[in-house]
Structures are given as C-alpha cells and as structure tokens.
Amino acid sequence: MLHRADAVGVVIITQPAHAWVAGQLARAWGTARFPRPEPWEEVCMAAERHDDGWLAWEAAPTLNPATGRPFSFLELPREEHLAIWSTAGPTVLALGRYPALLVSLHGTGLYERHDPAHGPTDPAVQAFLDQEHAFQTRLLTELQSDPDFAVHAAPDAIVRNRRLIAVWDALSLAICGGQRDTRRISGVPTVNGETLMSVLPESRDLARVAVAPWPFAQQVVTLRFEGRRLSGHFADEATMRAALAHAPWVSFAVRLNPATVNERA
C-alpha cells in the first residue's frame, strides 16, 4: 500500500488500486511516437493486475511498529514482500499466460534492478528468482509455440512490454502518491528507441499533472482512484486493521495534460 500524505494526514491507497491506475494509463497510451501496446488486451490486463499478489495482504495488512501504521510497500520486510510476489504470476495465470508472464517479469525486475543489497546473493531472493525464472521459461516456451502469441513472445516484444509495465507502474506511483516535485522516468519505449519522460504537478496542484513528451491518444487523460483516510497511530495490529476497515473513503480524479514549454524545462 501507498501512504499519500497531505495537510490533514495520510490516505492509504492499496497496491491493487495503484495498479488499476497503471491499467488506465495503459488503455490511454498510443501515439505515432508511442505506439499502443500489443497484444493490447493482454498487456493492459497485466498493467492493471500487476499487483494482484497483494490482494490477500491488503485485506489484512501488517503493522509497522516503527510508525504505528500499516507497512507501506517501501517498508515491508523482505520476507513478506517475497511471499507476495511469489503468488503474483500464478494468480494472474488464471486470466492468461501472457499477462502472467509480464507480471512475473515485473516482480523479478524489482529485485534485479532495484535491490542490489539483497540481490541474487541473498538465498531467499535467489530462491524467489529461480522459481520465477522457471515459471517464465515455461510460459515463454508455450507462447512461442502458439501461433496467436509467437510474434509477441519474441525477445524484443517482451523487453518492450516489460518496460511499458515498469513505466506505467512508476507513473502511477507518482500520481497516486501525490508527488509534488518533477519525476523523471527513463527508458520509456518509443517507435524507434527510448526516451525520458517528465511528470510534474501543474502549479503545485496535485489534481493536475503535466507530462512531457505526451504519450496518450487524447489531449486530456483523467485518472480515477480511491483510498481511505487513516487517522492516528496504533500500538497493535488488530486495532489498526479495525480502524482501516472503518476509515472514510477518499476519491481522487487527476487530470493529465501535455506539459508547456516552461514546464518541460
């Protein structure tokens, strides 16, 4: 889960809610420079379901004793994080092989790219990577033998779609988390390579976000998501869970616009 801080306190946004925003971004994506993903439905499904492994944990989140609040996704102990991501690919496999492959690749990428301190030399991480790599190899072999998916299971297509999932994930995290400063996302796939994307609130208004370069088919994209306003800090997990279950809902609508020349700078 994400903790979105504001002047009142904190709004708790679940990982699946954030993934839903990633799916909204995927379905809005598509210009001459930023072609829409293919296979369309499977990649969009992977984007919006990439955090399905968190569903059980989000129903009963664990308490961070250091903060008195539920763990955020950045704070969660490694053992819990690995357990969550070990279920992600098989959970999405119920919907299809291609989205399950992309979800599994996203999970392993979190450790391969972002956790060098606990990378493959950590036995628990290595066991997770071995399990996921075997799962990925099996799915890739099947997809490459399937006439409907063979072209989309080619190495360059997998690299591109895997990167798109990571871009939408990063963009959604910035938006759902209420990021106040410019966020630069590297490695955004284009028709002939990659580029750097800038994301920043317009005039410090978190409900209006400027994006450059613009990758969406429409000139305005409105994203919707919800969270729960959690008040206070808690000494025990049961009390925290009860408070979260009864916390008031907060709805968000964030409008994305192309950045102006000044904003791009």
Chain segment 35-82, per-residue pLDDT in tens: 999 999 999 999 999 999 999 999 999 999 999 999 999 999 999 999
Torsion, Cα of 34, 39, 45, 46 (10° steps): -80
- Model confidence over 149-169: pLDDT tens digits? 999 999 999 999 999 999 999
pLDDT of residue 160: 98
Length in residues, the chain: 265
pLDDT of residue 263: 53
Contact of 241 with 61, CB cutoff 8 Å: yes
pLDDT of residue 118: 46
Asked whether residue 16 carries a pLDDT value surpassing 90, the answer given is: yes
Contact of 63 with 52, CB cutoff 8 Å: no
Q: How far apart are CA 169 and CA 171, in angstroms?
A: 6
In sign, the C-alpha dihedral spanning 142, 145, 146, 148 is positive
Asked whether residue 253 carries a pLDDT value surpassing 90, the answer given is: yes
Mean pLDDT of the region 127-148: 98
Q: How confident is the model at residue 215 (pLDDT cuts 50, 70, 90)?
A: very high
pLDDT of residue 202: 82
Contact of 230 with 247, CB cutoff 8 Å: yes
Q: Is 220 exposed, middle or buried (0-12, 13-18, 19+ CB in 10 A)?
A: exposed
